Amino acid sequence: MEDRLRIVHYPEPVLLSVAKPVSDREFANGLKAFSEEMFAVMAEAGGVGLAAPQVGRSTRLFVMDIPEGDDTPAIRAALINPEILHVEGEQTGDEGCLSFPGIFQPVKRQMRVVARALDAAGKEFELDATGLAARCILHETDHLDGIVFLDRMSILKRDLAKRKIKRLQKRGEW
Ligand code: NI
Could you tell me the distance, in angstroms and rounded to a whole number, from the CA of residue 74 to the centre of ligand 1? 19
| DSSP code at position 78 | E
Could you tell me the distance, in angstroms and rounded to a whole number, from the CA of residue 44 to the centre of ligand 1? 15
Please say if the pLDDT value at position 20 is more than 70: yes
Global pTM value: 0.96
Q: Distance between CA 62 and CA 65 in Å, rounded?
A: 10
Helices (H), 24-154: 24-29, 32-45, 131-144
Could you tell me the distance, in angstroms and rounded to a whole number, from the CA of residue 138 to the centre of ligand 1? 10
pLDDT digits (tens, 9 = 90+) for 105-147: 999 999 999 999 999 999 999 999 999 999 999 999 999 999 9
φ, ψ at 161 (rounded to 5°): -65, -45
pLDDT digits (tens, 9 = 90+) for 28-78: 888 999 999 999 999 999 999 999 999 999 999 999 999 998 888 999 999
pLDDT of residue 3: 66
Could you tell me the distance, in angstroms and rounded to a whole number, from the CA of residue 1 to the centre of ligand 1? 27
Strand partners, 126: 116
The residues annotated as belonging to the active site are 140
State whether residue 145 is helix, strand or coil.
coil
Could you tell me the distance, in angstroms and rounded to a whole number, from the CA of residue 87 to the centre of ligand 1? 19
Q: Distance between CA 146 and CA 164 in Å, rounded?
A: 21
